[in-house]
A and B are shown apart, each in its own frame.
Chain A
Amino acid sequence: MDSAIYVIGIGQTPVGEFWDQSLENLSAQAIRQALADADGVSIDAMYVGNLLASAASGQANLGPKIADNAGLHGIEALTVEAGEASGAAALRMAFFALRSGFVRTALVVGVEKYTDMVGSEMEAILAQSGDYDFEGMQGQMPSGQAGLLMRRYLDQYQPKRAALGVLSILAHANGVHNPNAMYRRAISNETYTSAAMVSDPLNIFDSGPYADGAAALILTADAELAEKRGGAKIVVAAGNTAADALALHDRPDALVFSAVTLSVHKALLEANLEMAQMDLFEVWDAFSIYALLSIEACGLAAHGEGWRWLMEHDLSPGGSLPMVTMGGNKARGFPLGAAGVYQAVEATLQLRGQAGKNQVAGAKHALIQALGGPASTVVTHILSKIA
Chain B
Amino acid sequence: MEIPRHWRLQKQRYGLLGEVCPHCNAKIFPARDVCPECGGEAKEPFRFSGRGEVYSYTVMNSAPAGFEQALPYTIALVKLEEGPTVTAQLTDVEQEKVSIGMPVEMVTRRIKEDGSPRGMLVYGYKFRPVMGA
Instruction: State yes or no: do A and B come from one complex.
Output: yes
- Of B58, B73, B85, which one neighbours A249 at CB under 8 angstroms? B85
- Of A124, A149, A248, which one neighbours B64 at CB under 8 angstroms? A124
Is A163 among interface residues, defined by CB-CB distance under 8 A? no
A199 and B76 alpha carbons, distance in the complex (Å): 12
A133 and B88 alpha carbons, distance in the complex (Å): 11
Known: A139-B111, A249-B77. A144 touches B60 (CB 8 A): yes
Is A41 among interface residues, defined by CB-CB distance under 8 A? no
What is the minimal beta-carbon distance from B16 to any residue of chain A, in angstroms? Answer: 12
What is the minimal beta-carbon distance from A255 to any residue of chain B, in angstroms? Answer: 9
A36 and B46 alpha carbons, distance in the complex (Å): 61
Residues on A with beta carbons closer than 8 Å to the beta carbon of B5? 133
In the bound complex, do residue B62 and residue A249 qualify as a contact, i.e. CB atoms below 8 Å apart?
no
In the bound complex, do residue B66 and residue A124 qualify as a contact, i.e. CB atoms below 8 Å apart?
yes
- Of A123, A148, A247, which one neighbours B56 at CB under 8 angstroms? A148
In the bound complex, do residue B75 and residue A254 qualify as a contact, i.e. CB atoms below 8 Å apart?
no
A136 and B89 alpha carbons, distance in the complex (Å): 11
A168 and B77 alpha carbons, distance in the complex (Å): 26
Residues on B with beta carbons closer than 8 Å to the beta carbon of A150? 58
Question: Chain A interface mostly helix, strand, loop or mixed?
Answer: helix
- Most-contacted residue by chain A among B64, B66, B70, B84 (CB, 10 A): B64
Residues on B with beta carbons closer than 8 Å to the beta carbon of A119? 65
A204 and B100 alpha carbons, distance in the complex (Å): 23
In the bound complex, do residue B9 and residue A133 qualify as a contact, i.e. CB atoms below 8 Å apart?
yes
What is the minimal beta-carbon distance from B89 to any residue of chain A, in angstroms? Answer: 6
Residues on B with beta carbons closer than 8 Å to the beta carbon of A120? 62-68
Residues on A with beta carbons closer than 8 Å to the beta carbon of B61? 197-200
Known: A148-B77, A248-B77, A254-B77. A139 touches B64 (CB 8 A): yes
State how many residues of chain A have any CB contact under 8 Å with chain B. Answer: 38
A302 and B76 alpha carbons, distance in the complex (Å): 26
A8 and B77 alpha carbons, distance in the complex (Å): 46
Known: A124-B64, A124-B65, A133-B9. A249 touches B84 (CB 8 A): yes
Interface string of A196-215 (1 = CB under 8 A from B): 01111110000000000000
Give residues in A with beta carbon < 8 Å to B.
119-121, 123-124, 126-127, 131, 133-141, 143-144, 147-152, 155, 197-202, 245, 247-250, 254
What are 9 A-B residue pairs whose CB atoms fall within 8 Å in the complex?
A119-B65, A120-B62, A121-B65, A124-B65, A138-B88, A139-B66, A147-B59, A148-B57, A152-B56
Given contacts A120-B67, A133-B5, A147-B58, 19 further A-B contacts (CB under 8 A): A120-B65, A120-B68, A123-B65, A133-B9, A134-B30, A137-B111, A138-B88, A138-B89, A139-B89, A140-B87, A141-B63, A143-B62, A147-B60, A148-B58, A148-B77, A245-B36, A248-B77, A249-B77, A249-B85
